[in-house]
Each structure stands twice: as structure tokens, then as C-alpha cells.
Structure 1
């Protein structure tokens, strides 16, 4: 089985030059011989880079379909509003007879187009696709510079640590990049699921502060659920005036 051809700055393509489409499903981890660590690490880097480019291409391809449909619905909304506003005026001036009812129909079609755009999340969806593709592309550029830095460090030397530590450091760079891309895709999926969730977003309720543990046998002078009284305190009684002597 031949490996997909890589092109600088472009997505991974098959033998016929076509862009692989479909869902963002996982791919099997490439197995190889670690007898030559440098070649093995280069193979893993190309695999990670191809997967990131495939993710970017998937979001950009999905963006095209959503953007076209969203623009058509937006155009229908604008035309419906203009026609719904103009037809009653033409009927009022006598230019077009009985044109006012069609104006209400135009407004209804405009509202339907806007509702379809909001319900299917087309405008928000293609904007979200562009944002995710740009975020993955920006993270991929950071990976390319980090990998170049690690390669230059090993070639120019002196290398830091042993060869095993250098290999672990390179694997850590690839692993962090894969986790960052997965987090970006997961965040976009969560936003997409929120758009289709019925009703308003649930409110985040603050948790109540932990209740104090009450003692089954309180100490003397302690009232349950209240502050303890001083041990040697007497209740404050109102002072009475002394009786007046007889006159």
C-alpha cells in the first residue's frame, strides 16, 4: 500500500491527486522498526503533519458547502424583505393593483429563509469551520518550527542529554501537538452540539457552601445552629428605678 503524497502547504492527497473526504475518523498508528530512531521519528512527524493537513482540508471543504447555502438563504431573506416593503407601497400608489397580499407572502418567505439559516446553523457553521481550520493551521506552523529547532539542535550539537532523551523530547512535541488538534476539534464539536440543543443554554448554578458538621453532643452552653454563649455571662436585665420615698 503506497503512502499518500505530501505537498508543502497543502493537504495529503492520494495517488490520483484527489483530496480524501469523509469524516474525521482516526487512523491506525504507523508501526515501524526503531532500529533507526531518526528515520522513525521523521516518519511519525510526516504522519502527524498529514493528519493535521487532512483536518484543515476537511473543515475548509465543509465550509464551502455551508457558505454557499447560507449566502443563498441570506439573499432570499434580503429579496423577501425588499419585496415585502415595496409591493404594499406600489399597491398604495396604484402602480400595481392587488400587490399588497404578495408583499406579505414575500415577508413570510424572508422569515422562512432566515429561520432555515438559523435552524440548520449554516452561517455560524461555516464561520466556525474557518476559525477551526485557521487554529489548526496556526498550531501546525508552531509544530514545524519546533521540529526544525529540534532537528538543528541535534545536527549542530552538542546535543543535550543522551539519544534516548532526545527521542523522548521529539515524541513529546508530536504528542502535545496531536492533543492540541484533538482539543480544537472537540471544542468545535461541542459548539456544534450546543447549536442544536433545544431550549436555552442551562444556567450554571453555583454550588452551595459546604455545611458545617454538627456534633450530636454539643458542649455545654452551645445552642444547636447558633453561636455559643460566653461561659460566664449573665442575661442583661433592664435596670429598675428605686422606689421613691413617701412625701
Structure 2
């Protein structure tokens, strides 16, 4: 599958067409849907991780400019006052102006808040993906090991319910992040808060970048539920 389409201003949007197939073999069809849904979530998390790279670099550059400007703005007038260096007070004022401009630029363009929001959203998507994979595995185990419950159509409906809930959850995470971005863009400052993190802001960025919750490297996926034989009439 290709990368998800983008909304205006580069926001992620899963515009992939829903895969159509033959339901004559439900197990193969459900496996196809599982792969499609999983791929969409991985693409969404990858987009946010890539988007946070340049925002983080810009944020650190602006923060460095703020620190250097504030330090120079305080030190140069003192040097001029003590007589160590003459005529540098105007440069100190210019340095302070640079520091203020860096702070204003960071707030206006949302660099610091933007990359933090990207990390939090990627964390939330990956955590939800992990829960989805366990939910899917439990459905597979129920069909393979335990005594069968209900009909084959009911088993397929349960699997489709797991897929739909996960897709809706990922869509909601993206929607909330986009709403925070729009609120910040209109207000020209830091948003009210990254609600999409859902308590995940404390996790380190390195854990996300390493794909801590990503699927196994060998690409293994849980087996699909077996198709039950027709029930005796």
C-alpha cells in the first residue's frame, strides 16, 4: 500500500480505497482486511514520526537562538558598564530582540508544540495497534483452541467488529490531533493540550522512534480464524 493521502497543510488522511474481494472464502478475506487496516495504522504512525523530525530541528534552533540572544543581551551591557568592552550595549539590545523574535516565532509557527503533538499521536496509534493485535489474536485462539461459540457468520462479525473499532479509534486519534492543530493555528499560540496522548506524554521519544510497539521484524501475524464447516440441518 502507498502512503496515506494528505489533507491541507500536510495533515495525514487515510484516503485508501476499501479493498473489495470475494467473501466465498471468509478466512482469506478477513486476512486481507486485517493487513489493510494494520498497514493504514502503521502508515499513520510513520507519517507523524517523520513529520516531527523537521519540527524538532526548527524548535531546537529557535530555542538555541532564544538562549544565546538572552545571554548576549544580558552580558554585553554588563561588559560595557564595567568598561571591559566599549560600545557593545546596542548589540545587547539587538540580541534581546533576537531572543524575543525566536520565542515569538516558535509560538506562532508551533514548532515545539507541533513535534510534541506528533510524538504523542504516534505513541497513541502504536499503543492502540498493540491492543488491536492482541484482540485479533484472541479471536483466532477462540476459533482454533476453545469450543466453538455461535455460527461461522457470528465469528466473522466479531472479527469485523474488531477491525471496525480499531479503524474508528485511529481515525479519532488523528481527528483530535488535527483539531488541536487547528486550534493552535487560529490562536497563534500553544494549544490547550495534547489530548490525543491519553497519558502517553511521559514516554520517551526514543521508544517511539525505535518502534517499541511495532509488529515483529519477521512480519509474523496471527493466523486467521478457520472457516467452520456448514452446520447440520
TM-score exceeds 0.5: yes
Aligned mates of 1:58, 1:134 — CA distance in 2: 12
Change (3 A) 1:29 1:199: closer
Which of 78, 82, 85 is 2:74 aligned to? Answer: 85
Match in the other structure for 2:178 = 189
Q: Report which stretch shifted further, 73-82 or 93-102.
A: 93-102
Which of 87, 107, 114 is 2:96 aligned to? Answer: 107
How many matched pairs? 184
The 5-angstrom pairing of residues 115-194 of structure 1 reads 115-194=104-183
**Aligned-pair CA distance for 1:21:** 7.2
Match in the other structure for 1:72 = 61
Is the 2:49–2:119 contact (alpha carbons within 8 Å) kept by the matching residues of 1?
Answer: yes
SS at match of 2:84: coil
Bigger Rg, which one: 1
The superposition leaves residues 77-118 of structure 1 with CA deviations (integer Å, 9 ceiling, x where unpaired) of 000000000000110111111011100000000000110000
* Alignment root-mean-square deviation, CA: 1.7
Aligned mates of 1:83, 1:40 — CA distance in 2: 65
SS at match of 1:196: helix
Aligned mates of 1:189, 1:93 — CA distance in 2: 52
Aligned mates of 1:22, 1:106 — CA distance in 2: 42
Q: Which runs of 5+ in 2 are unaligned?
A: 7-11, 190-233
Aligned mates of 1:141, 1:199 — CA distance in 2: 35
State the TM-score, normalized to the length of structure 1: 0.72
The superposition leaves residues 164-218 of structure 1 with CA deviations (integer Å, 9 ceiling, x where unpaired) of 0000000000000000001100000000011122489xxxxxxxxxxxxxxxxxx
1:62 aligns with 2:42: no
Change (3 A) 1:146 1:31: same
Aligned mates of 1:192, 1:36 — CA distance in 2: 43
Change (3 A) 1:142 1:65: same
Structure showing the higher helix proportion among its residues = 2
Aligned mates of 2:145, 2:64 — CA distance in 1: 59
The superposition leaves residues 14-56 of structure 1 with CA deviations (integer Å, 9 ceiling, x where unpaired) of 7xxxxx4762231000111111100110110010000000000
Q: Which runs of 5+ in 1 are unaligned?
A: 5-13, 15-19, 201-247
